[in-house]
Amino acid sequence: MKHLLYTMTALSVLLLACGNQKKANNAKPVKVSSIENKGITPDSELLTSSVFIQKIWDYTKSPNDWKYLGSKPAIIDFYADWCGPCKIASPILEEIGVEYSGKILIYKINTDQEQQLAKVFGITGIPAFLYIPVVGKPVMTSGIGRSKEETKKMFVENIEKYLLIKK
């Protein structure tokens, strides 16, 4: 019983820590590695709302009609600087971006800075990943694996399943 209570408490703390909430006033922002190391993935880009509307989808003109504006499949990483699991996922996603360079685009949205975009997609927990095929509807996933290998496998499986669909 004590073990179950401990496990539930630890899980609750983890979920609260990674929910879409503001960082505490005394928290120091931590840079996400892909932003610190610009250029690792040539197709990676930090999105603002205005760039999102130009490159991905103009939700202001057609809020109920998804129309992807890009020419390559894409992944959008919804993250925050203070989120531990986001810091784990970021370098793995960078590796994936290098491996799939020229085939997919990688975008990042800081949910603290782009709250409207997070709201448009109903982001309540991070990290969250939006897989956008060139044709068809996007698919949202969240969370990471228990290890680097599991997380990388999750990204690869989702890319193959949702983005690089064999016809």
- Residue located via tokens 């290890």: 147
Number of structural domains in the chain: 1
- Residue located via tokens 């960078």: 94
Identify the three-state secondary structure at position 130. Answer: strand
27 C-beta neighbours (distance < 10 Å), count: 10
Q: Which of the following is catalytic: 47, 74, 80, 83?
A: 83
18 classed as catalytic? no
Whether residue 66 lies inside any domain: the answer is: yes
Whether residue 22 lies inside any domain: the answer is: no
Report CA Rg, the chain.
16
pLDDT digit string (tens) for the chain, length 167 residues = 433 333 333 333 333 344 443 333 333 333 334 344 433 355 579 999 999 999 999 999 999 999 999 999 999 999 999 999 999 999 999 999 999 999 999 999 999 999 999 999 999 999 999 999 999 999 999 999 999 999 999 999 999 999 998 76
Q: Which of the following is catalytic: 56, 86, 89, 130?
A: 86
Whether residue 8 lies inside any domain: the answer is: no
Whether residue 9 lies inside any domain: the answer is: no
Residue 44: predicted pLDDT: 76
83 classed as catalytic? yes
Whether residue 13 lies inside any domain: the answer is: no
Omega of the bond leading into 127 within 30 degrees of 0 (cis) = yes
Per the structure, the complete domain to which residue 142 belongs is given by 31-163
Q: Which of 98, 99, 101, 83 is nearest to 144 (CA)?
A: 83
Domain holding 44: CATH number? 3.40.30.10
Q: How far is CA 118 from the centre of its chain?
A: 11
CB contact at 8 A, 104 and 159: yes
Supply 145's token pair: 């694996």
Q: How far is CA 72 from the centre of its chain?
A: 17
Q: How far is CA 96 from the centre of its chain?
A: 13
Whether residue 76 lies inside any domain: the answer is: yes
Whether residue 19 lies inside any domain: the answer is: no
Whether residue 24 lies inside any domain: the answer is: no
Q: Which of 158, 140, 135 is nearest to 67 (CA)?
A: 135
51 forms bridges with which residues in the sheet? none
